[in-house]
Structure 1
Amino acid sequence: MVVAAGCGSDGGGAGGDTSQPPASDLGLPDLSGQTIEVAAIWSGEEQANFQKVLDDFSARTGAQTSYVPTGDNVSTFLGTRVEGGQPPDVAFLPQVGVLQQFAESGWLQPVSADVQEALDANYGTGWKELGAWEGEQYGVYFKAANKSTLWYSPTVFEQAGVTPPTTWEEFLTAAQTISDSGTPPLAVGGADGWVLTDLFENVYLSQAGPEMYDRLAAHEIPWTDPSVTEALETLGELFGNDTLLAGGAQGALQTDFPTSVTQTFSDPPGAGMVYEGDFVAGVIASDTEAVVGEDAQVFPFPAVGDTPPVVTAGDVAVAMTEGEAAQALLTYLASPDAARIWAGAGGFLSPNRSLEMEAYADETTRTIAQALIDAGDDFRFDMSDQAPAAFGGTKGQGEWKDLQDFLANPSDVAGAQAALEEHAAEAYGG
């Protein structure tokens, strides 16, 4: 299967095609007099856009909705609510591992027949499998991310005489040409370890292939495996050449993700391109003067092996209380009608294959969304989001820290692998 989740936005305006399909009759029940509490990580503009989705659900069913922001540590917030006997009716989980942990603990309700019918109609097998645990369906992936994109300044590319590369070799050549023209080629937010895990995952998926990716994600092979050696050596071709990174390796380690974006699209540009997912567009729109699709354009992550990678993430909706209200909301969220609302507002990708591309607010987002859908079941979900948090999701430790150390010293591939395996073994339990 599988693609990272639900970060930012393209800052798009009021919507895409104005001639969108009429609302569907989803057969939702009358929930007048009931209140549904929904918990998710979104705040600010994302929360406001999601509220539009909830408002449409309320208009269809008569239910009142109450939104509760979880903060960054979603699993801790929800665990505390469960232990206190007050779980939300529906929660959005950003990590596959958390869904599996909660399902194993008995904190989630399996989906109803109506939800399953909507999933079967609108979602591919890979996305359904991500929302399942031990053969039981629990979740609906509502918001997705495509983490296999690079964003670039067409002005810098034109001045250097380069075009968007399609292979890793072309990428390194283009980067060197941009460097020779006088602009640092690539900005990397290495101060945020998750940026480095995403980079590694794209290289590894394309080079080693989906089956090996799945085995490493499950820790069925060690991080000392030769396939990891090859991927780190490939990354080292980039990390080990300071002329290819804005500020060199040390500068990258001191640059967080938002700054890597703003430095690329500043005037004059501090880099020719920046790596991260579709949510880069949100930072461009909110923190720079650049216009997405004009001053800021995007190309797919280049193929390291035979095919380019598609690494994704996403937020999965799950029912944490019994009853028809939570299941009705899941049914609605599995429909293209719900996805269409946020797609039109911007800052959103949907894995729902029934959502028409015209629903997205701009051509750049449509291109990224189409790549997500076209990947079918050949995408892979963010590997670090599948790992125990101690290894794949904690600042200053595990994979985040180990790859930062590798960025600082990319010649020590064996040392990086040993550290990664030691910390993975601890987190996975041996």
Structure 2
Amino acid sequence: MRTTLRTRKAVLAVIAVSALTLAGCGGSDDGDKADGGSDGGKKSAPSVELPKLDGEKLEVAAVWTGPEQKNFEKVLDEFSKRTGAEVTFVPAQDPIVNFLGSKIAGGDPPDVAMLPQPGAIKQAVDKKWAKPAGAAAKAQLEKNYTKGWQDIGAVGGEQYGVYFKAANKSLIWYNATVFENAGAEEAKTWKDLVTTAQTVYDSGVTPFSVAGADGWTLTDWFENIYLSQAGPEKYDQLAKHEIKWTDPSVKQALTTLAEIWGKKDFLAGGQSGALQVDFPKSVEQTFTGGDQPKSGMVFEGDFAAANAQEAKAEIGKDAKVFPFPAVGADAPVVTGGDAAVALKDSKASQALLTFLASTDAAEIWAAQGGFVSPNKEMDQSAYPNDVLRDIGKALVDAGDDFRFDMSDQAPQVFGGTPGKGEWKALQDFLKNPKDVAGAQKQLESAAAKAYKN
């Protein structure tokens, strides 16, 4: 799944046009929803037939909280209405594989888990927890998904995961009032971004809110810089640990990252303060506080829209977005996603996988915002505004030409565990951005152990 220059430019162009044309089109614009509007954009006739499951109980585990959890529960509610099954959302903690391990050891595993990393899917398969997707789920996947998205959820040629939720993780959201007051401009290059940050700072607002308490956001910062600066081939090699984290290309990326992380005045709360801020808080800090929010910008994926809306920001008016700027020759486009995996081979769990692979389920969450679907047959008018609609269309139009989140491809102990591996190393680097060599050594030591096992 290689990201071509053509595809990257096409995706960036779509996002840029969206940011310019969206003014006045907020997240509550019901007129943009598909027929059925308030019911999540569902078609009048269901796109998939589901079995009757009256009396069945189903538990679904995910690490989602806040608006993500609420919006996913709306999808589960529709599944319950159609099947009669009683579905319970089970809040999980990162790393979800460890959480599932404890549940399984206690004899009480959830029926289905939403796994945020391909590495986690492989671990669940290797541990013999995961159950293969059934015929009906696979039929929906073949109908609605490209081969690339099917393959990410497969292990050893067998389909296990249904990638229900995708993400464009190459976006910078900004407070429109702050930019207007400062005379700041959207950045097209990394040099421009540093200049924009300085302009925002000179206006009296701290430029960035960095969610340092959530290590995964820090990996996304690194990955965007690395993909743009080192290029797709190096990105693939580092993702597979075919080159070491002590490679000069990693040094260059960390040095570049330190141009922002290393400036205390550029981060809300400084480096130490950033390490206390989780992702929802980082978005809140950017879009609350009137003319004087704690920060003017926050980096993260399209899903940040839901958190901005929670902060009462209108998408396209108060909260605007531009693509992560080019560090090297080309701007980066990094994607991520969450896959549903059955842990019990029951009629109910397989029915849920089938539903999540359908257009109906995708359109329910799409209508709420903070969600992009890789489902190519989904009605794009289900998205509540032009920003999400165009990002979703660009994702579908890209077909199999995309780069998946590097840390999500790694063994979870390295790329997806709080307090360990890449998350811990980058948090330590945020604390001391001058120690590039130390960060590289720490990253390589953790990676060598993780990939060996």
Shorter-chain TM-score tier: 0.7 to 0.9
Give the secondary structure class of the aligned counterpart of 1:186: coil
Question: Which residues of structure 1 form unaligned runs of 5+?
Answer: 4-10
2:400 corresponding residue in structure 1 = 377
1:421 corresponding residue in structure 2 = 444
| Contact residue 2 and residue 312 of structure 1 kept, 8 A | no
| Contact residue 213 and residue 274 of structure 2 kept, 8 A | yes
Shift of 1:101: 0.8
2:434 corresponding residue in structure 1 = 411
| Contact residue 34 and residue 379 of structure 2 kept, 8 A | no
Alignment of 1:29-428 (within 5 A): 29-32=51-54, 34-43=56-65, 45-60=67-82, 62-73=83-94, 74-265=96-287, 266-267=289-290, 268-286=292-310, 288-428=311-451
Structure 2 vs 1, CA of residues 32 and 277 (structure 1 numbering), >3 Å: closer, same or farther?
Answer: same
Partners of 1:327 and 1:376 lie apart in 2 by 26
1:8 corresponding residue in structure 2 = none
| Contact residue 170 and residue 334 of structure 2 kept, 8 A | yes
CA RMSD after TM alignment: 2.7
Q: Which moved more, 1:131-140 or 1:15-24?
A: 15-24
Q: Which moved more, 1:107-116 or 1:295-304?
A: 107-116
Q: Deviations over 1:362-413 (max 9, x none)?
A: 3333243334334433333322233333322333332222222323333332
Shift of 1:254: 4.4
| Contact residue 42 and residue 69 of structure 1 kept, 8 A | no
Amino acid at match of 2:87: S
Partners of 2:343 and 2:407 lie apart in 1 by 25
Give the secondary structure class of the aligned counterpart of 1:141: strand
Structure 2 vs 1, CA of residues 295 and 228 (structure 1 numbering), >3 Å: closer, same or farther?
Answer: same
Give the secondary structure class of the aligned counterpart of 2:367: helix
Partners of 1:326 and 1:249 lie apart in 2 by 44
Structure 2 vs 1, CA of residues 271 and 29 (structure 1 numbering), >3 Å: closer, same or farther?
Answer: closer
Partners of 1:169 and 1:147 lie apart in 2 by 20
Structure 2 vs 1, CA of residues 215 and 233 (structure 1 numbering), >3 Å: closer, same or farther?
Answer: same
Amino acid at match of 2:175: S
Structure 2 vs 1, CA of residues 278 and 103 (structure 1 numbering), >3 Å: closer, same or farther?
Answer: same
Partners of 1:161 and 1:261 lie apart in 2 by 21
1:17 corresponding residue in structure 2 = 33
Partners of 2:319 and 2:170 lie apart in 1 by 16
Q: Which moved more, 1:303-312 or 1:237-246?
A: 237-246
Shift of 1:33: 5.2
Amino acid at match of 1:372: L
2:12 corresponding residue in structure 1 = none
Partners of 1:388 and 1:337 lie apart in 2 by 33
Shift of 1:222: 0.9
Partners of 2:181 and 2:166 lie apart in 1 by 34
| Contact residue 2 and residue 381 of structure 1 kept, 8 A | no
Question: Which residues of structure 2 form unaligned runs of 5+?
Answer: 4-25, 36-40
| Contact residue 70 and residue 77 of structure 1 kept, 8 A | no
Q: Percent identity?
A: 56
